[in-house]
A and B are shown apart, each in its own frame.
Chain A
Amino acid sequence: MSLLAVEGVSRRFGGLTAVNNVSFSVEAGEILSVIGPNGAGKSTLFKLIAGFLKPSAGHILLDGRRIDGLRPHAIAARGLVRTFQETTVFREMTVLENVVVAHHLRRRHSVLAELLATPGVHAEQQEFLADSRKLLARLSLSGLEDEEARNLPHGHLRALGIAMALAVRPRVILLDEPFTGMNSEETERAVEIVRDIRAGGITVVLVEHDMGAVMRISDRIVVLNFGTLIASGVPSAIQQDETVIDAYLGRADEIVAL
């Protein structure tokens, strides 16, 4: 059984069908990329899976259990988290505080116990601090612990966003354009990070425009155009797929490095 299954999912906004009867599945441990020209419905699909939108039709299953219709925090509790492009982090907190807050789902004490600062709460905080430091080290952010998040450059912000998502200990992580806006050096680091995430046993689904990185890193690729799934398969197959090439070439604004 696939870890994540999207079955016949559609989403309409008034007269516009942003996502049209899309079905695909993601196996545990794989890196799957969702690509497509601008306006193909990738970010809508993303929001549907993560619970920020409800499908107009279809189901989404995580580990065989339906998650469509659940709110984002409930989906996170089931093991699926996402990263963001804009509000990647909590800007007014320090880098360390950001990652600590992301341990929310692992809190074991009541608010009352926290107010009273019981020894159990204190031990848990120490545990979260240690875990946060490890995650920051893994993402090469160690020296920046006490820096206010808003002072970080873009690449570090994205890395911090990933560290926070990892703090939840998810089974599936949805990365929202992890390579966009990066130079080749930053992209390399990001590719390493994604591989490292998968090596840690987490399944990765990403939405992306940067073809080069996508082709290098994905186990499988799914292509959307005008809200419909037009192709899916391994990178080499997608590169040669006629419908995919048409879809991209038909759009003058897309420059594709296939």
Chain B
Amino acid sequence: MMQRFPALAGFILFAAVMLIAIPLLLAGQGYWLTVLTTAALLAFGSIGVWLTFAIGRINIAQGAFALIGGYVVAILCTRYHTSFWIALPLSVLAAMLVATLVGWPILRLRGVYFAMITLSLTEVASLAFLNGGSFTEGASGITSIPRPALLSSSLAIYIASALLLLIGIVVAWRFAVSPAGAVFRSLRQGEELAASLGINIARYRLLAFIASSGMGGAAGAMFAAFQQNIFPTSYTVNDSVNFMLYCFLGGLQSVAGPVVGAFLLVIAFQLLSAIQRFQALLYGIFMIAAMLFLPNGLMSLPQLLLARRDRRADAVPPR
């Protein structure tokens, strides 16, 4: 119980920074608002991937769901002149529907097999939208997606994205501490044992996957409205992998992990843009270094440092 207070304080601080400090300080800075919007939306998508990690699956399909979400918004808003605020929930529903259809048979796979098949799904999505004929406009994608009502400025879009992220964090967090969250953890640590205790493992796995995909779809929908375009290549295997990376970098123990990971990497990446040529290279090196030295993610750093301090204290001979 006591452990929750630092977490709660941390969250309130984060919310204050996101919703108050940043709008005040960066109102005119279109570039940085864009970066932070991107970070917020990617963090949101990563929380989804975190949910699938929580049930013990390596999900490399989030890009596919972002693509679905983005295209639903793109097609509805450009061709059928639907309001974004109706297209957004529809895109989430579309992503969830696909997740249900596809997830049901594939979730019984685990480990590398599940990873490979979800990676294939990202490719399928890309190729499907590429070959969608006039419906998806193929390689040229859909452009000139109108800005949503109420979200015409960079600041407004940033605030909407930040709100979405905060809501996502709250829901995921509440979920993690609820009995249902314990069920998820049990799935990761022993599916057969969980089943023998009466847990409908197939249903819970699917629930996690659907929730994850919905979040991916929502992120994709927001990006489409924000960038005002979508292409079959908007989300590739690289992007699906990035979602995983943000989770890993931050740490999988809590919902803060993917958020920290996403913000850190997106901002760092932007700061490195001065060294444009080496950007992606440093990215790869960074990933390797993280795995070598911080296998449990950044959020495990405080624990690691404490443990090291304790070990050193032990090493000092007592007087």
Chain A residues with Cβ under 8 A from B197's Cβ? 73, 76, 81, 101-102, 104-105, 164-165, 167-168
Chain A: CB-nearest residue to B253? A92
Also in contact, A91 and B189, with CB within 8 A (given A71-B195, A76-B198, A117-B174): yes
Contact with B along A78-95 (1 / 0, CB 8 A): 000111100111111100
Partner pick for B179 among A72, A88, A93, A125, CB 8 A cutoff: A125
In contact, A92 and B189 (Cβ under 8 angstroms)? yes
Chain A: CB-nearest residue to B175? A115
CA distance A91 to B189 in the complex (A): 7
CA distance A47 to B185 in the complex (A): 24
A5 within 8 A of B: no
Chain A residues with Cβ under 8 A from B200's Cβ? 71, 73-74
**CB within 8 Å of A: which B173-212 residues:** 174-175, 178-180, 182-183, 185-186, 189-190, 192-193, 195-202
B171 within 8 A of A: yes
Chain A residues with Cβ under 8 A from B171's Cβ? 115
Q: Using a Cβ–Cβ cut-off of 8 Å, how many residues does chain A contribute to the interface with B?
A: 37
**CB within 8 Å of B: which A43-65 residues:** 50, 52
In contact, A101 and B180 (Cβ under 8 angstroms)? no
Q: Using a Cβ–Cβ cut-off of 8 Å, how many residues does chain B contribute to the interface with A?
A: 22
In contact, B185 and A93 (Cβ under 8 angstroms)? yes
In contact, B182 and A87 (Cβ under 8 angstroms)? no
CA distance A157 to B219 in the complex (A): 43
CA distance A81 to B197 in the complex (A): 7
Chain A residues with Cβ under 8 A from B185's Cβ? 90, 92-93, 101
Chain B residues with Cβ under 8 A from A145's Cβ? none
CA distance A52 to B175 in the complex (A): 29
A138 within 8 A of B: no
CA distance A21 to B82 in the complex (A): 64
Partner pick for B189 among A84, A90, A102, CB 8 A cutoff: A90
In contact, A93 and B192 (Cβ under 8 angstroms)? no
In contact, B199 and A84 (Cβ under 8 angstroms)? no
Chain A: CB-nearest residue to B187? A90
Partner pick for A90 among B174, B186, B202, CB 8 A cutoff: B186
Chain B residues with Cβ under 8 A from A115's Cβ? 171, 174-175, 178, 180
CA distance A152 to B174 in the complex (A): 29
A252 within 8 A of B: no
Shortest Cβ gap from B199 to chain A (Å): 5
Shortest Cβ gap from A125 to chain B (Å): 7
In contact, A101 and B195 (Cβ under 8 angstroms)? no
CA distance A52 to B191 in the complex (A): 12
In contact, B175 and A82 (Cβ under 8 angstroms)? no
Chain B residues with Cβ under 8 A from A77's Cβ? 198
CA distance A117 to B195 in the complex (A): 25
CA distance A107 to B180 in the complex (A): 10
Shortest Cβ gap from A97 to chain B (Å): 7
Chain B residues with Cβ under 8 A from A50's Cβ? 196
What 11 additional pairs, Cβ within 8 angstroms, besides A52-B192, A101-B179, A111-B178?
Answer: A76-B195, A76-B196, A81-B197, A82-B196, A87-B192, A93-B182, A104-B179, A115-B180, A117-B174, A125-B179, A168-B197
Leading 7 A-B pairs by shortest Cβ distance: A76-B198, A105-B198, A72-B195, A114-B178, A90-B189, A87-B190, A115-B174
